[in-house]
Amino acid sequence: MDDPRTVAEAGEAAVLAVLRGDPPPVDDPVGNGDDAAVLGPSAATVVSTDMLVEGTHFRLDLTTWRDVGRRAVAQNVSDVLAMGADCTRVVVAVALPGDTPVGRVAELAGGIHAEAARSGAVVVGGDLTSAGAVVVCVTAMGPLPDGARPLRIDGAAPGDRIALTGVPGRSAAGLALLLAGHADGPLQRVHRVPVTPVGSGTAARLAGASALTDVSDGLLRDLSGLARASGVAADLVTGDLPGDPRLAEAARLLGAEDPEALVREWVLDGGEDQGLLAAFPEGVDVPTEFAVIGRFRAGEPGEVTVDGAPCTPGGWDSARSPGYR
């Protein structure tokens, strides 16, 4: 039954109970409900934190509370995968306006727990506060086995192959469709909740990748970032990029003057697809979920060419990007 009360009417204990939900049992020394969670032994622990802000990252008229929760978890899980680990635990801090109906909090919590479960993770703690806008801050954690080398962003070497999971551009196309009033569809769903490549971070590590990151700010921008950190340049081959015919369809539906250019922009500069971008040395078997899309070479650190032409990355700047406003 939908709780008819608002968050302010129900009070902290009741709302925390809704947020906490009924998570699966864990064998941690201390789970949810104490001052802090206590995780069990680990040789190394990957930790990432990320904040999702209403108005900047989502609008509640274009998405659902459930998808906000799923996306908040997904984008953090993605960062843990990008170190070559699996995500096993998350803690979630939530800020809500006092007039939020408790039923919406239940949907948010449902999304948080569902996406955690999809990723193989459990929510072990959180925080609740009031604010003028909805804010969800997730911290995701995952263990690395004893002796495992984390996949850093700065390990690519000249000659390594550039490889990517997933199809870039879908999230950006989905956002464009949403903003134009097309409320639903497969691209819109990718924008609302990116599909994190669960297991692919570990697969890349076991296969012998030399570097790994996730694509959250745009393919070119994140590729350039990985190349810069590694002190190499990168040559991208667009013909080798996994494509989706729905991108061109979306560009036409939106009445783009140059649909091909718009698709290219989505693919190269659109962020938040949360694919994994890896460097694999020559001679290493690239896991099947990765498509080889170019090669790193000696050169100006961070320089990126696309089909041989130098290219300046666009993409998302978190200090600058106005989001939906």
The footprint of its own copies on residues 57-76 (CB under 8 A) is 57
49 vs 312, beta carbon nearer its own copies: 49
Options 20, 32, 46, 236; binder of its own copies; rule CB under 8 A: 46
Cβ-proximal residues to 137 (8 Å cutoff; 6+ apart), any chain: 49, 50, 51, 52, 72, 92, 93, 94
Interface with its own copies in residues 12-41 (CB under 8 A): 12, 14-16, 29-30, 33-41
263 vs 304, beta carbon nearer its own copies: 304
Between CA 132 and CA 292 the distance in angstroms is 45
262 vs 315, beta carbon nearer its own copies: 315
Interface with its own copies in residues 95-124 (CB under 8 A): 95-96, 98, 124
- Tell me the window of 50-58, 165-173, 180-188, 254-262 that interacts with its own copies (CB under 8 A): 50-58
Asked if 127 touches its own copies (CB under 8 A), the answer is yes
What is the amino acid identity at position 220? L
- Tell me the window of 2-10, 109-117, 181-189, 278-286 that interacts with its own copies (CB under 8 A): 2-10
Interface with its own copies in residues 172-231 (CB under 8 A): 212-214, 229
Between CA 276 and CA 45 the distance in angstroms is 19
Least CB distance to its own copies at residue 307 (A): 27
Asked if 128 touches its own copies (CB under 8 A), the answer is yes
Asked if 144 touches its own copies (CB under 8 A), the answer is yes
Interface with its own copies in residues 150-169 (CB under 8 A): 150, 152-154
Q: Specify which residues 92 forms β-bridges with.
A: 126, 138
Task: Give the helix/strand (H/E) hosting 195.
Answer: none
Q: Are 130 and 204 in contact (CB under 8 A)?
A: no
246 vs 290, beta carbon nearer its own copies: 290
Least CB distance to its own copies at residue 67 (A): 18
Cβ-proximal residues to 212 (8 Å cutoff; 6+ apart), any chain: 82, 83, 84, 151, 152, 153, 201, 204, 205, 276, 277, 278, 279
**Residue owning tokens 């209403």:** 54
Between CA 270 and CA 266 the distance in angstroms is 4
Asked if 129 touches its own copies (CB under 8 A), the answer is yes
How many amino acids of this chain bind its own copies (CB under 8 A)?
78
Q: Specify which residues 91 forms β-bridges with.
A: 125, 139
Look at phi and psi of residue 208 and say left if phi exceeds 0, alpha if psi is from -120 to 50, else beta: left
What is the amino acid identity at position 148? A
